[in-house]
Each structure stands twice: as C-alpha cells, then as structure tokens.
Structure 1
Amino acid sequence: MSESNTTVWSVYLVRMRSNALYCGISTDVQRRFEQHVSGKGAKALKGKGPLVLEWHSELSDCRSLASKVEYALKQQTKSVKEALILGELALSDVIRSDLYAEIYSLS
C-alpha cells in the first residue's frame, strides 16, 4: 500500500460545557470534531457545547487497534485524562505497555 493511501487512525478527547471529556477515534480528527460541533457527530455530544478539542494522538492504520486504545482511555479516571491533556502523562503511561508496543510495531 502506498503511503498516500494509508489511513491513519487517531484518538481524541473533546471537552464539553459541563467539563466532562468525550473520547473518540477518527481518521480525520478535525473533520470529526467539526461534525461534533455542528451536531452531526456522536449523540453523546449533542447540545453539550461549546465543545473544545483538547487532545489527540495519531495511532496506526489499524482501526481495531485504535478502538482498543479508545476503550483503554475511556477506562481511565478523569484526572488521568486531564494529565494526558496537560502533557503530564504520555499515552504510553496511560495504556497497557503491550498495547502501546503494538501501535508502534505497526507504524
């Protein structure tokens, strides 16, 4: 597969008006965030604006792996997610080491 045809999945965190964080995955984070803002994204974010894209990280071209990372992030406490946003923690600190290794073995 040529590099131009590679679809890279990313994981992202969006902050809602209530200060809650929403976690999702996408191949185009900015496009997906704009969908959320316009009300055409996830039902969980409808009417919860203003929304702020707080953090995102590219993962790999494997959707399954991106879904695993998304699930792992959703299991974390809000304080861990906040530390990730602030750069106090890296993604490698937050998810299982074997999952993190799998991301970079596919890159």
Structure 2
Amino acid sequence: MKAYTYILKCSNGSYYVGSTKDLNRRIEEHQSGEGAKHTKKYLPVELIYYEEYTRIDDAFYREKQLQKWSRKKKEALINGNMKLLPDLAKKVFVS
C-alpha cells in the first residue's frame, strides 16, 4: 500500500503539509472545502510537492517533520535545492 506526504500551496501563498493513503482523493477533499480548516479558508489549493512511502506511519512522521520547517526550508525542498537544507536547518543564536 502506498502513502504520501504532500505540500499544498494555498491561495494566500501559505503552505499546507499533510499525509494520506489516497493522494488524489485527499486533494479533491481539500479543493471541495472538506480537507482542513486552513485549506478551506484559502481555496483554491495547488499540489506542489509530494513524497511516496510504503507505510502511512512513515508518511505521517514526515508530515510532522515538515510542519516544523521554516518557509525557506520548505521552499528549498519543493524546488529540489537539497544542498540548501543543512544550512537552513541551523538555528541562528543572537548573543
């Protein structure tokens, strides 16, 4: 069985990260306003990135990981700029 972690771009420019066993059905739910409060508020949405997994718990774990990422780090992932990810993961400490 396949599972997916996905990123949607909402009409206000925000990103929504989710996971599902049926990507097409879930996108349709989001587009019809039945997916999540955030996506319902900012329709239409566009699927801009997804990853495929063999287990839903792996997809869910990845969803939770990506939800913690900064916008810039998500955009690096979306754009395939994997070399930027380590630098974007570093926290800046101000003394």
TM range (shorter): 0.7 to 0.9
What is the CA distance between 1:64 and its match in structure 2?
2.1
Query: Who is 1:29 aligned against?
Result: 23
**Percent identity between the two aligned chains:** 31
Q: What is the SS of the residue equivalent to 2:11?
A: coil
Distance 2:41 2:15 in 1: 14
Let me know the Cα RMSD of the aligned residues.
Answer: 1.7
Q: What is the SS of the residue equivalent to 2:82?
A: coil
Compute the TM-score of the two structures, normalised by the length of structure 1. 0.72
CA deviations over 1:38-67 (Å, ceiling 9, x no partner) = 111112211301211100010222x22221
Distance 1:8 1:20 in 2: 26
Contiguous gaps of at least 5 residues in structure 2: 87-95
Question: Where in structure 1 do 4 or more consecutive aligned residues deviate above 2 Å?
Answer: none
Distance 1:85 1:11 in 2: 12
Q: What is the SS of the residue equivalent to 2:41?
A: coil
Contiguous gaps of at least 5 residues in structure 1: 1-6, 95-107
**Aligned match for 1:89, one of 71, 82, 90:** 82
Compute the TM-score of the two structures, normalised by the length of structure 2. 0.80
